[in-house]
Amino acid sequence: MKMPPLFYTCLFLIFGILINEFFSSNYLWVVIGIVSLAIIFFRVEKKYPKIFFLIFILLLAGGFMRSELFFKDLEKAENQFGNLYGKNIVLSGVVDNIPEKKASSQKVILNKLKMAFSGKEEYLISQPGKVLIKTTKFRNYEYGQILEITGLIEEPQDFDDFDYREYLRQDWIFGILTNPQIQVVGVDPRKQIIRNLFLLKNTIQEKTNRFFPEPQAALLNGMLLGIKSGFDDDFSNNLRQTGLTHIVVVSGTNISILLLLMMSFVSIIGRRKTIFLSLAVIFIYIILVGFNPPALRALIMGGLVLAACLLGRKSAAVITLFASGGVMVFLNPMLFKSLSFQLSFLTTLGILLFYQQVNRLLFFVPHLIRENLAITLSAQILIWPLIAQTFSEISVISPLTNALVLPSVFPITLLGIVYVFLSFIFSFSARIIGFVLLLLLDYFVTCVNFFGKFSFASIVLDIRSGTFYLIYYLLILLFYIYIRHKRKDELVADF
């Protein structure tokens, strides 16, 4: 199959960024990589004019330069904090997140930082950059508030084999202040629209907390609003053991699976109505999650892929996935290191490439759970190495628990949206929907707690070798090429 120029445009931009990421210190390898990829392209796609050889080399170089400039800007922003570490400072900025509250603390991210003072010294913060404030949960802070803080600023440190500094650096967070003095001095008027959405989000959370018990309330808040807090340690551990963590927050994996599940509505309500329903769900989701960047990226990517699936063939969906992912990575090369982006992309790609084949292999499984099991397994094909490398463990029973729980995800999401809407206008009707919703949430919680208690639910798999993962993904690529050729041979034989 001949891929269109758009596919290769995005692919070569991505390769250019990757070359800079891994080989920027050795320009000989950069040149070898660019020329090799261009030669491979023309061995595969011989039908393109020779001018494309030059164009795609320029695209590789463009991706490389974009990444080079981006990380130089990131380094400049980080260096300006070097003179502040270990000093007591006075700093002002705007709250850039919904404060994440835990048992006895909360985390507030401060952006749009201005002049910092340490004694009589002044430090001009001219580059973009954020700081993380760790404080008690007993005072409420809101998105868009302007805070003046006084305290000791520290450089982020790694812990327990986790690269915490790099994790914060992905969001341009370069400093941490623990229990500083905080004074609210105003509200940024430019943040008012999103601020109102976040206030709406808080109101919705309060309504669900009043009606539903725990952990059902936290489960619904996670699936609808992307709120990660509220689970006790036992339930959180059971979620991890059963491989269901990705479902209970508005994550890339959750959104990808949810949008692709909506394709099943084509046979019920038709292609056009399914598209409109999907767009409506995406729009409502964007409002509910409050323009959360990871969720927004997954929604955009998943929505475009879903539209391509409904309007065209699988190949169009794969091209759309690479195109949307390529544009996002070009705008922000740091996404290559973002776990949420990696999971969003690989989950969607795994389902697109392997779902039909896995579904055929599961012919012996009852139809009631076959589709969900096929979706789960095809998604896991590309993401399990990433999960193992990140968390050093994988859930053995994840395919089973996902197959059992996935049928409840869409009804919970849809009824949750209906419940939220009715709770503002018809409280009695909202209660009726709420009781039905509670049954579905109870089913989800029961599955999590039942299977999470098995000692063999997850196994430790601490594989850090990059060679292992490279070989694995090469084998998966060869397997996909094999099944594609086998499928073509079967079609020719049938003909």
* Top-confidence residue, 472 or 489: 472
What is the C-alpha to C-alpha distance for residues 215 and 204, in angstroms, rounded to an integer? 16
6: which 2 tokens? 């758009």
Cis peptide, bond prior to residue 333, ω within 30 of zero: no
For residues 268-273, average pLDDT: 72
Give the distance between the most distant pair of CA atoms in the chain: 84
Please provide the average confidence, as pLDDT, over all residues in the chain: 76
* Residue 491 confidence (pLDDT): 38
Which candidate, 281, 277, 240, places its Cα nearest to that of 395?
240
Lowest mean pLDDT among 167-171, 177-181, 228-232: 228-232
DSSP for 194-257 reads: HHHHHHHHHHHHHHHHHHS-TTHHHHHHHHHH-------HHHHHHHHHHT-GGGTTT-HHHHHH
What Cα–Cα distance (Å) separates residue 327 from each residue in 17, 300, 338, 403?
12, 11, 15, 33
Task: Name every residue whose Cβ is closer than 8 Å to that of residue 252 and which is 6 or more positions away in sequence.
Answer: 294, 295, 297, 298, 301, 340, 341, 343, 344, 345, 347
* Residue 494 confidence (pLDDT): 40
What is the C-alpha to C-alpha distance for residues 73 and 89, in angstroms, rounded to an integer? 24
* Residue 326 confidence (pLDDT): 78
Q: How many CA atoms lie within 13 A of 37 on its CB side?
A: 23
What is the C-alpha to C-alpha distance for residues 246 and 248, in angstroms, rounded to an integer? 6
What is the C-alpha to C-alpha distance for residues 371 and 351, in angstroms, rounded to an integer? 11
Q: Which of 202-211, 273-282, 403-412 has the highest mean predicted lDDT (pLDDT)?
A: 202-211
For residues 252-258, average pLDDT: 58
What is the C-alpha to C-alpha distance for residues 378 and 381, in angstroms, rounded to an integer? 5
> Do 110 and 185 touch, CB atoms closer than 8 A?
no
**pLDDT band for position 438 (cuts 50, 70, 90):** very high
For residues 47-57, average pLDDT: 65
pLDDT per residue as tens digits for the range 93-122: 888 877 777 777 888 888 888 766 666 666
Does residue 443 carry a pLDDT above 90?
yes
Residue 16 CB neighbours (<10 A): 29
Q: How many CA atoms lie within 13 A of 119 on its CB side?
A: 4
Angle at 147 between CA 188 and CA 221, to 5 degrees: 75
Which candidate, 369, 436, 449, 368, places its Cα nearest to that of 402?
369
* Residue 441 confidence (pLDDT): 93
* Residue 117 confidence (pLDDT): 66
Does residue 273 carry a pLDDT above 50?
yes
For residues 204-233, average pLDDT: 83
473: which 2 tokens? 């993904």
**pLDDT band for position 435 (cuts 50, 70, 90):** very high
* Top-confidence residue, 355 or 133: 133
- pTM, rounded to two decimals: 0.73
**pLDDT band for position 436 (cuts 50, 70, 90):** very high
Cis peptide, bond prior to residue 215, ω within 30 of zero: yes
Q: Which of 94-103, 127-136, 223-232 has the highest mean predicted lDDT (pLDDT)?
A: 127-136
**pLDDT band for position 378 (cuts 50, 70, 90):** confident
- As a whole number of Å, the CA-based R_g of the chain is 24
Does residue 69 carry a pLDDT above 50?
yes
Lowest mean pLDDT among 56-70, 291-305, 324-338: 291-305
Does residue 1 carry a pLDDT above 60?
no
| Alpha helix ranges (H) inside 362-465 | 367-391, 398-423, 427-452
- Coil, strand or helix at 274: helix
**pLDDT band for position 288 (cuts 50, 70, 90):** low
451: which 2 tokens? 């299977």
**Residue 487 identity:** R
Does residue 25 carry a pLDDT above 60?
no
**pLDDT band for position 341 (cuts 50, 70, 90):** confident
Q: What is the separation of C-alpha 445 from the centre of its chain, rounded to a whole number of angstroms?
A: 23
111: which 2 tokens? 């952006």
For residues 355-383, average pLDDT: 80
